[in-house]
Amino acid sequence: MKLSYKVLVALFSTLALTSCMEVLDKTDLSSTSGTLIFKDSTLTQLNLDYIYDQNLPVPIGSLGPEPTGLSGLSDESYADSKLLQGSLLINEIGDFGTKLDATNNYGKIRVINMFLSDVNAGTLPQFTKNKLRAQAQFFRAWRYFDLVRLYGGVPLVLSPLAAVGVEAKQLAFLPRNTTAECFAQIVSDLDSAMASVPGRWSASTDWGRITKGAAAALKGRVLLYAASPQFNPTDDQTKWQTAYTANKQAYDLLTANGFGLHASFDQLWFQEVNNPEAVFITGYNTATGDQTKKNNGYDNSTRPSYTGTGGGSNQPSWEMVKAFPMLDGKKAGESTKYTYSDQLFFKNRDPRFDKTIAYNGATWPLNGNTAYKVWTYFVGGKTIESKASNTGFYTRKAINPTVGAGDAQYSGTDWIEIRFAEVMLNLAESAVGINQLDEAYTQLKAIRKRAGIEAGTDGLYGLKANMTRAELFDAILYERQIEFAFEGKRFWDLRRWKLIEKTLNGKRRTGVTINLKTTGVPADFATTRDNVSLDKAYTDYFTIAFKQLDTKYDIAWKPEYYFFAIPQTAIDNNPKLIQNNTWGGAFDPLK
């Protein structure tokens, strides 16, 4: 949605003076009623656009005290993290609302609740009210989902609370609702949103607004979490059935409205209006002026620093590199058709490998140069880059190859938070939950077919035949790891499946250093390397050394991190809040 959100406040002020001039002339300006604004459709829309701006997700996302994106909190990449050190303190996942702040979850919920209340009291036609309120309810569900997956049940605030006064303070001392009550409210808001927004907006200027399918897809994701081991340790089948029903509804709604897999796994990021795979997006623009700038910083921060102004972040670990299957869909080392070796790690891999991972010698179109090759090797212990990749690799997903180095900081590439591929894999996972295993195979095969994996003589695209329920759950999580690499999904998947200890604990993530041999290398290699076959270069001229990225500690995620502590500062402010039972309190986040 190419709206210049940054100017909404300024526009609001101007339009308010223009649209409501006659009324304001006769009104006490120190206490102007919201009803004066919410009888004007233009001003109301501006307020809603402000809610979009405040609540749309950012690329990859972050968590609590961590300075880097979520990829560094899993086996995708590396970040020095208190979570993975096992040294997290009680106040450090603090987006609960420990102070008056419009940018934390409850600050954003307050703005949404005010909008819902004022629109309802306004004089716009009921149909218009319903459509506006529905979009705001989607974002209230989004905010509460964020809180619940962090902490479990939280206080449900569904109307604006008074802001000042002793009585108002007492009324704001709300207890935590149960986790089940929170999930029910989230679902209720999303059902309301589905009822009143269109399946597809007709005007291109409305690209990115919430649709029925987006609300249904978020509902499916929410209920998949509710059915996952984090929230469902007893494997309650009714929760899986509820998740399946929701995800089937999302799949059917989106399909009926023209959504589906994009033809290209890598180019799907660069089509905007009418992109069939883009279900829930954050819109960006390429403007450079201060007042209209809403640029996507992911591109510039991820591309190599030596190509221009890039930051070289989100660097894939060796574990992520090796995770990709071979071209026949079998894991590296398990394929009987394609032999795997660490020295030639790039050969015969799932086509998503080359579209996600940039490695030494890879052809990676950048800055408009379709023949550009990225080199990350060392000579005599010194990097040939101005600043070496810490892992030996870069992420190339969603990096626009046509954008020049100087313009990357102004990238307008939209971020897709929910792709149709996720809806398919959410449906597959929930189908496995209720033992509809064939449906899971159908979705997995479609994802792998689009990726370009070979079908094989059995038409299973490398999937094992006749998998059990447990094996299919593992296969789906593995597919998600590959399909959604560097999209901010891996950490949450491992956490909701309570697999972080099994995946990471006691281990250290790995990077590589690729060294140019000291003998047998042509003297002019630095100028002729682009013309040398990669097989020959890696076989004759390079050696690969492995290094630990976690140099200070073995990873030691703690079980209590599956539900973070309510910050003590919040409990000090509100005596009715009870701490989670895994952090010394009596609140059970599983109820």
Per-residue pLDDT of the chain (591 residues), as tens digits, is 454 443 344 344 333 333 333 333 333 433 445 667 788 889 999 999 999 999 999 999 888 655 558 999 999 999 999 999 999 999 999 877 666 677 889 999 999 999 999 999 999 999 999 999 999 999 999 999 999 999 999 999 999 987 655 666 677 789 999 999 999 999 999 999 999 999 999 999 999 999 999 999 999 999 999 999 999 999 999 999 999 999 999 999 999 999 999 999 999 999 999 999 999 999 998 877 665 678 899 999 999 987 777 889 999 999 999 999 999 999 999 999 999 999 999 999 999 999 999 999 999 999 889 999 999 999 999 999 999 999 999 999 999 999 887 888 888 999 999 999 999 999 999 999 999 999 999 999 999 999 999 999 999 999 999 999 999 999 999 999 999 999 999 999 999 999 999 999 999 999 999 999 999 999 999 999 999 999 999 999 999 999 999 999 999 999 999 999 999 999 998 999 999 999 999 999 999
Q: Are 95 and 102 in contact (CB under 8 A)?
A: no
Model pLDDT, residue 184: 98
DSSP per position, 185-217:
HHHHHHHHHHHHS-SS-SSGGGTTS--HHHHHH
Model pLDDT, residue 6: 37
d(CA 382, CA 184): 57
Model pLDDT, residue 406: 81
Q: Are 355 and 118 in contact (CB under 8 A)?
A: no
Model pLDDT, residue 28: 40
Q: Exposure string (b/e) for 413-424, b if CB count within 10 Å is 16 or more?
A: bbbbbbbbbbbb
Q: Enumerate domains of the chain plus CATH numbers.
A: 202-283+414-487 (1.25.40.900), 297-413+510-548 (no CATH)
Model pLDDT, residue 247: 98
Instruction: Decide: helix, strand or coil at residue 338.
Output: coil
Q: Give the tokens for residue 288.
A: 């450079």
Model pLDDT, residue 293: 77
Model pLDDT, residue 134: 98
d(CA 421, CA 444): 10
Q: Are 549 and 509 in contact (CB under 8 A)?
A: yes
Model pLDDT, residue 24: 32
DSSP per position, 469-514:
HHHHHHHHHHHHHHHTTTTT-HHHHHHHTT-HHHHHTT---EEEEE
d(CA 325, CA 315): 19
In this structure, which amino acid lies at residue 440?
Answer: A
Model pLDDT, residue 98: 61
Q: Give the tokens for residue 368.
A: 């408009």
Across the chain, which distance is largest between two alpha carbons, in Å?
88
Residue in 556, 555, 564 with CA at minimum distance from that of residue 585: 564
Separation in Å, CA 253 to CA 247, 446, 520, 548: 10, 18, 61, 46
HSE at residue 446, side-chain half, CA atoms within 13 A, is 18
Model pTM above 0.75: yes
Model pLDDT, residue 11: 41
Provide the 10 A C-beta neighbour count for residue 234.
8
